Structure 1
Amino acid sequence: MVTVTREQARARARSAAAAVTDPELPMLTLADLGILRDVAVEDDGTVAVWITPTYTGCPAIAEMRADVDRAVRAAGFDRVEVRTALAPAWTTDWITDEGRRKLAEHGISPPGGAPRRASGPVPLTLSPTRTVPRCPRCGTADTEELSRFGATACRSLHRCRSCLEPFEHVKEV
């Protein structure tokens, strides 16, 4: 009989959770998006997985929770709790380089750097804070916004003025 340490069990559970794909951007895993926050094996054997939604009220969070639960159970764990961590709030800066590469590879412009704040409450910005995304096909920054909202609230629709191709852009948060 092989004895598995808690750390080995945690690594196996984390690997299973990290491989779950985002229901709205299926080319990305929850790890690519930075949504997977932590995994722990508790004293009673329960695997606790913490995920952070991309924004409060994200409709995909229920599906993510169910998919993580299913994946961790399939990895051999009977007791799984998927918990939501709201603080600190998710930011597009948590998207990995691999995630950004996959977005561009699939014709979606990855976000630039998220707006910065020193500390305290979220600053109120009354002027537009829109960035000019680069075309994921030809690389030019000569693009125009067609709609502030794309297939989901976290994406906007653009068109490249050089190659004339439409594309989505993940908004900076």
Structure 2
Amino acid sequence: MIRAQLPSLQGVWDILDRVLDPEVPVVSVVELGIIRDLEWQQQRLQVTLTPTYSGCPATAFIEEEILQALHQAGIPDVQLRQQLAPAWTTDWISESGRNKLRDYGIAPPVGSASKRSLLGEDPIVACPQCGSEHTERVSEFGSTACKALYRCTDCLEPFDYFKCI
């Protein structure tokens, strides 16, 4: 019996970099930083992922998309493993992911996840449409729980801000 050639780990990373987040369909699961580790165990691929938060409603859908992409790439035996600790943080979003968020009209997280937000200090969030830093928070929650709704006071456009978590 001839075994099919399985992709290298870099090849698997490349495959997963084409799996898009369903809530922000311009950013991949790799760019979001939710893929924590890949490991070949004999002919089985183990994929370790950390959801953006433990109750994220998109997690099951993302896992199905990951499995489908890997199976279509000829990897029949895949084990998904959720790792909840350490908890996912917006610090794990890649620079390319942050740029794609901005280009899509969502302000990327400002700075790093820290206790500043717990102390009530609002970050300076630049408008993704015009680049102005003259913005204001309209609501703590935007289109999803991980985003806040902001408005630019220069161009007057509303936009989501991907909160630091």
- Local SS of the residue matching 1:86: coil
2:156 to 158, 164, 171: 164
- Which residue number corresponds to residue 86 of structure 2? 88
Q: CA deviation at 1:31?
A: 0.9
- Per-residue CA shift, 1:67-96, capped at 9, x if unaligned? 001100011011111111112211111111
Q: Could you tell me whether the CA contact under 8 Å between 1:12 and 1:75 is conserved in 2?
A: no
2:135 to 127, 140, 143: 143
Name stretches of at least 5 consecutive residues in structure 2 with no aligned partner: none
Q: Could you tell me whether the CA contact under 8 Å between 2:110 and 2:124 is conserved in 1?
A: no
Q: CA deviation at 1:104?
A: 0.7
Distance 2:68 2:24 in 1: 19
TM-score w.r.t. length of structure 1: 0.86
Q: Could you tell me whether the CA contact under 8 Å between 2:90 and 2:113 is conserved in 1?
A: no
Distance 1:75 1:124 in 2: 42
Identical aligned pairs, as a percentage? Answer: 40
- Which residue number corresponds to residue 123 of structure 2? 131
Name stretches of at least 5 consecutive residues in structure 1 with no aligned partner: 118-122
Distance 1:3 1:137 in 2: 47
Q: CA deviation at 1:13?
A: 2.6
Please provide the CA RMSD for this pair. 2.2
Q: Could you tell me whether the CA contact under 8 Å between 2:52 and 2:89 is conserved in 1?
A: yes
TM-score w.r.t. length of structure 2: 0.90
- Matched pairs, number: 164
Q: Which amino acid aligns with 2:105?
A: G
Q: Could you tell me whether the CA contact under 8 Å between 1:92 and 1:113 is conserved in 2?
A: no
- Per-residue CA shift, 1:100-124, capped at 9, x if unaligned? 111111111000122347xxxxx99
